[in-house]
Amino acid sequence: MAKLSTSMLLLLCLFVLSVSATPIQTVDDDDAVGENSTSTFFNLTVLHINDIHCRFEEANKFGGACTAQESADGKCFGGYARLVHQSRHIRQQNPNTIFLSAGDFFQGTIWYTIHKWKAVSRFGNLLNLTAMSLGNHEFDDGVDGLLPFVEAANHPVIAANIDTSGEPRLHGKIPKSKVIEVDGRKIGIIGYLTPETSHISSPDGVQIFDEIRGVREEAERLKMEGVNILIAVGHAGYHKDVQIAEQVPDIDLVVGGHTNTFLWNGPAPSTEEPTGSYPTLVKQPSGRNVPVVQAFAFGKYLGNLMVTFNDDGEVIATAGLPILMDKTVPRDPHVVQELAPYREEVESLAEKEVGKTLVFLNGSRSSCRFGECNLGSFIADAYVNLFTKFAGPGQWSKVGIALLNSGAIRSSIDERVRNGSITYGNILSVAPFPNTVDVVKINGETLKKVLEFSVQDYDPSALDPLGGFLQVSGIQVVYDASRPKGDRVVELLARCNNCRIPVYLPVEPKEMYDVAMSSYLAGGGDGYKLLKGNIIEHTLTGMLDADTIINYMGKMSPIVAGLDRRISFVNGNDKSFCDKIGEGIGSETSGSMGVTVTPTVLATIASTITRNVDPQGSPAYSATSTVPQPSVAAITAADAM
């Protein structure tokens, strides 16, 4: 078998060491240069990003807004200022550098809600990208939102598997590929986009067909034109990236996005767990190995791959690792200055009203982590509502049920503050994590196991209850926590979505269910590894749960959300109603509004509850209500006042 010549190997090592200390990975020994060969190497540095989702400024380790304290402590990552600095620095060191984006600049933070494509274009152009593929979120505001971005971009926006004939405004605006020349070598960059975009975004008249077909046809065309280095960059997910690498014979490298996949070699530098090696080498039927890369998301990492080609355009070696954009990476001062006026508008939006409530929206730990709470139910309902616009034939919604881990609910909303006005700031206090609302397909057996896990460690006397207890929409579940773990679901009904009149039907083990939930839960968060391991199909929307809640609040205002026995316990083995009275918000600050409520509790409880009512409207007032047994998830005294 042919070997790399000593001189060529030395040159390759010098190339790699000039940028990274990672070892050389030989890709194709059969294509390597022999000892007496006169062939020359062509070295190319490929910088890449994907799924930035409007993290214009640095974010915390989870992709959420970085607080002043976190920034001061050096616990924040990414931001355009760091990306601009680091990409410029690498380009100065290595002129043979290209910079690619695999899509989804749009959507994901309040910055996009306010500034839309204008901010994305302004700061995206500062990166001086070589090319960018479309992402599904680039269509979130339809062609009206995409067209001005494409026209303002200083780089090509590409996709080989779309048909714009139904959208004349985009005619000629989005090419299939871009051919560039680097150090005398022609490089073809081919874009692709997931067809799921038609179901999870708003592409209007744009038709999206199979990615592999689109990339293959364009690769064949470019090869015929003498372009022998071909790179696919696209937004369809790691699994599809691997398929393209395997099934498109002419492709030399695949740069992907959409699934926020973290690839790494060795111990991970932060909180992300690697899905595979960087790069992932995919063997084609011919024996060629094709590297596949992604760079997680949110600009936390800058993908950094060094690729060596022979004269025939074949990859013979790779090296590199993503660069963690932490405090050690300087921020470009010009970009920091440019961000300031945009930030001012973002900060002012925190006080903008997004809805009104006539009732207390209870998000307290003492309620939501022990049973049904009305804020948890409302958020889960918002998840289902998001997918009504994607309903297929015979459906009223793409999904009829939703699950929400109670740990995602971080505060309550008090209807007595600001006369029930709900602000952006309130919502970000309730849902501060950068979770998106996803859809997973699971069978009924898995759904039941997931709900069993919800009460696996249920302890009514716990002082620090776990956040894995699930709030639900479209589910009616009865638990008996006195039974053995794994056998506590006494009854389980799910709402149909393929029906003209939504009804609750017994969950069947082999039946398939589409379930809306947060990306955190779908990824196995709060210990739900059994869920992650049994997902049959996972659809990413990229829609933030905070935005989903805001949209639903606008639709439902004024809000009157109550308790409707979605979650029940038998044998009195849940935390009793008596125990819950006075907890909830007894010493809790409601949201970010700075109001502490300390209610006076005047109640006695048996099978009935009597509350004393003050006709002047003080916290203790008189009325009588009956609580049926078995008990259901209860509200606090303050919740009811």
pLDDT score at 198? 85
Task: Name which of 151, 135, 228 is nearest 540 in CA terms.
Answer: 135
Assess if residue 23 is contained within a domain: no
pLDDT score at 589? 32
The yes-or-no verdict on residue 373 having pLDDT over 90 is yes
Contacts of 508 (CB under 8 A, 6+ apart): 444
Helix axes 333-349, 110-125, angle to 10 degrees: 160
Give the number of other Cβ atoms within 10 Å of residue 47's Cβ.
27
The yes-or-no verdict on residue 5 having pLDDT over 60 is no
The yes-or-no verdict on residue 611 having pLDDT over 60 is no
CATH of residue 554: 3.90.780.10
Q: What proportion of the chain, given as a percentage, has pLDDT over 70? A: 83
Q: How confident is the model at residue 33 (pLDDT cuts 50, 70, 90)?
A: very low
pLDDT score at 482? 93
Q: How confident is the model at residue 435 (pLDDT cuts 50, 70, 90)?
A: confident
Helix and strand numbers, DSSP H then E, in the chain: 18, 30
Q: 23 or 541: whose pLDDT is higher? A: 541
Residue keyed to tokens 């730990």: 365
pLDDT tens-digit profile of 376-393? Answer: 999 999 999 999 999 989
In 431-542, which ranges are continuous DSSP H helix?
444-454, 519-522, 529-532
Query: Same domain, yes or no, for 388 and 426?
Result: yes
pLDDT score at 613? 30
Query: Same domain, yes or no, for 97 and 222?
Result: yes
pLDDT tens-digit profile of 91-119? Answer: 999 999 999 999 999 987 888 888 999 99
The yes-or-no verdict on residue 640 having pLDDT over 70 is no
Query: In this predicted structure, which of 267-271, 355-359, 478-482, 568-572 has the lowest mean pLDDT?
Result: 568-572
Average model confidence (pLDDT) across the chain: 85
Assess if residue 388 is contained within a domain: yes
The yes-or-no verdict on residue 464 having pLDDT over 80 is no
Assess if residue 610 is contained within a domain: no
pLDDT score at 28? 56
Instruction: Determine phi and psi for 400, rounding to 5 degrees.
Output: -115, -10
| Number of domains into which the chain is organized | 2
For the chain, what is the largest distance between any 2 Cα atoms, rounded to a whole number of angstroms?
100
Task: Name which of 251, 214, 249 is nearest 232 in CA terms.
Answer: 251
Query: Same domain, yes or no, for 161 and 255?
Result: yes
Q: Note if the bond before 279 is cis, omega within 30 degrees.
A: yes
**Where a domain ends, among 543, 571, 599?**
571
Assess if residue 24 is contained within a domain: no
**Where a domain ends, among 571, 599, 625?**
571
Query: Same domain, yes or no, for 359 and 246?
Result: no
Assess if residue 141 is contained within a domain: yes
Query: Same domain, yes or no, for 122 and 189?
Result: yes
Query: In this predicted structure, which of 427-441, 511-525, 561-575, 577-591 has the lowest mean pLDDT?
Result: 577-591
Assess if residue 335 is contained within a domain: yes
Query: Same domain, yes or no, for 272 and 408?
Result: no
User: Please, are residues 444 and 507 in contact by the beta-carbon 8 Å criterion?
Assistant: yes
The yes-or-no verdict on residue 362 having pLDDT over 60 is yes
Query: How many angstroms separate the first and last alpha carbons of the chain?
Result: 81
CATH of residue 135: 3.60.21.10
Average pLDDT over residues 22-49: 68
Which tokens go with 178?
A: 């871009």
DSSP for 439-462, written as a single string: EEEEEHHHHHHHHHHHTTT--TT-
Assess if residue 585 is contained within a domain: no
pLDDT score at 544? 87
Instruction: Give the three-state DSSP class for 489.
Output: strand
Average pLDDT over residues 318-329: 98
pLDDT tens-digit profile of 551-577? Answer: 999 999 999 999 999 999 998 665 533
The yes-or-no verdict on residue 398 having pLDDT over 50 is yes
Pairing of strands 504-506, 489-495: antiparallel
Query: Same domain, yes or no, for 341 and 371?
Result: no
Query: Same domain, yes or no, for 336 and 357?
Result: no
Give the range of the structural domain holding residue 512, as residue numbers without chain letter. Answer: 351-571
The rounded distance, in Å, linking the Cα atoms of 233 and 256 is: 6
Average pLDDT over residues 155-179: 97
Assess if residue 21 is contained within a domain: no
Q: What proportion of the chain, given as a percentage, has pLDDT over 90? A: 68
Instruction: Determine phi and psi for 391, rounding to 5 degrees.
Output: -60, 140
Q: 333 or 526: whose pLDDT is higher? A: 333
The yes-or-no verdict on residue 152 having pLDDT over 70 is yes
Query: In this predicted structure, which of 123-137, 289-303, 336-350, 572-586 has the lowest mean pLDDT?
Result: 572-586
Query: Same domain, yes or no, for 341 and 355?
Result: no
Query: Same domain, yes or no, for 413 and 334?
Result: no
Q: Classify the phi-psi angles of 505: left when phi > 0, otherwise alpha if psi is within -120 to 50, otherwise beta.
A: beta
Query: Same domain, yes or no, for 321 and 431?
Result: no
**Where a domain ends, among 328, 345, 362?**
345
Query: Same domain, yes or no, for 566 and 529?
Result: yes
